[in-house]
Amino acid sequence: PGFPAHPHRGFETVTVVRKGLLDHSDSLGAAARYGEGDVQWLTAGSGIQHAEMFPLLNARADNPLELFQIWLNLPRSKKLVAPHFSMLWAGSIPNVQHRDLHGRLTDVSLRAGSLGSVHAPPPAPNSWAASNDNEVAIWTIRMAPKAQWTLPLAARGLSRSLYLFRGASILAGDQAVRVGHVLGLNSGMPLLLENGDLEAELLLLQGRPIGEPLARRGPFVMNTELEIRQAYSDFRETQFGGWPWPSSDPVHGAGVERFAKRPDGTVERPG
């Protein structure tokens, strides 16, 4: 299972694999197997094809997979930069822990952004998140039953949302939020979170709006409809560099070792 070769242009994918493994292959000749907390930060830029396959390595049992893929727009000035991917291995991703007055734990994992003096690993170099002024944050927040924690304020005018994806319900200020729902937040105000009876997990997404026109269709995110049509035309003509793999859905063998192979052949592994 998975997503065989398909193109992107004009934005980034930030893929957070919380459970299981994902096999990446792309039109630059790069490949990776990552998961169990790893993050891939892919800048599509001027255009890339990639495949995202889910290897079924356990032949005797289920192969569970849980991930988020976040699409992060690029500003006009970076829409056509060279494609690039970064690996944020699980061991490099920091956590901030807080215990409330009753000792109940809230654990915040930082894939992007900062919390107090703790900083996430650097994003891809051409990302909107690469400038601290844009205050991009991608956090997952795990709260013990009945735990309380105050989400700190950020700059005013940011886009900020909180998605409860596991648990039962939380109280966000005076707003009750049930699992499977998203809450839009005022970034310029702190927010007291009070969890319900089950352990809860939330996804926080935050960033300064780019403030440019947006045109999107299928796998392309640009500024105008004309640029979208040009993206389709360019892909038909160039295939964004072609596809160097023998199939549209490559899987990287039966081993479980995680790695990233760059277009120049350099191999990187988790520390």
Is residue 238 helix, strand or coil? helix
- Tell me the per-residue pLDDT of 61-119, one tens digit each, with 9 for 90 and over: 999 999 999 999 999 999 999 999 999 999 999 999 999 999 999 999 999 999 999 99
Is residue 16 helix, strand or coil? strand
Distances (CA, A) of 72 to 79, 146, 207, 251, 265: 12, 33, 10, 26, 27
**% of the chain with per-residue pLDDT over 70:** 100
- Tell me the per-residue pLDDT of 250-269, one tens digit each, with 9 for 90 and over: 999 998 999 999 999 999 99
Radius of gyration of the chain (CA): 20
DSSP-based helix, strand, coil % in the chain, nearest 5: 10, 45, 45
- Tell me the per-residue pLDDT of 136-194, one tens digit each, with 9 for 90 and over: 999 999 999 999 999 999 999 999 999 999 999 999 999 999 999 999 999 999 999 99
Residue 271 confidence (pLDDT): 81
Mean pLDDT for 203-209 is: 98
pTM: 0.96
- CA distance linking residue 271 with residue 258, whole number of Å: 11
Burial class (CB in 10 A: 0-12, 13-18, 19+), 221: buried
Q: What is the mean pLDDT of the chain?
A: 97
